[in-house]
Amino acid sequence: HVQLVESGGGSVQTGGSLRLSCSVSGYTDSSYCMGWFRQAPGKEREGVASIYFGVGTTYYADSVKGQFTVSRDSSSNTITLQMNSLKPEDTAVYFCAAGPGNLGFDILSPGRYSYWGQGTQVTVS
């Protein structure tokens, strides 16, 4: 039974920073990806940042490159998303997800991920 538990999020002013964390348990595959996705009201869910958990290779949406950083802690099976210089357009519900370790060019595609966290609200004003 795969379970993802998110923490962090909240409200911040423009230019501020937030840090999200997501712990995963029950994922038995030897290699897998984890990603952060977000969904703003009236918009489709979009990939923000992903990481191959074993090797630590990271991928980012163009809209957040240089602004967000995804990292992992293998000892605690946790990934984090450090979000800096936040803008109102970053306001969304943020989800973490886990998927297989062979996503290739689909690593930021929500449809390729099988397991999802409950989501956490990020509001930038």
3-state class (DSSP) for residue 40: coil
CA-CA distance, 8 to 36, in Å (whole number)?
13
70 neighbors 81 (Cβ within 8 angstroms): yes
**3-8: strand order across its sheet:** 3-8, 18-25, 78-83, 68-73
Calculate ∠ Cα 47-50-51, nearest 5°: 170
Least trusted range by pLDDT, from 26-30, 81-85, 97-101 = 26-30
CB-based contact 61:92 (threshold 8 Å): no
Among 5-9, 14-18, 54-58, 102-106, name the most confident range: 14-18
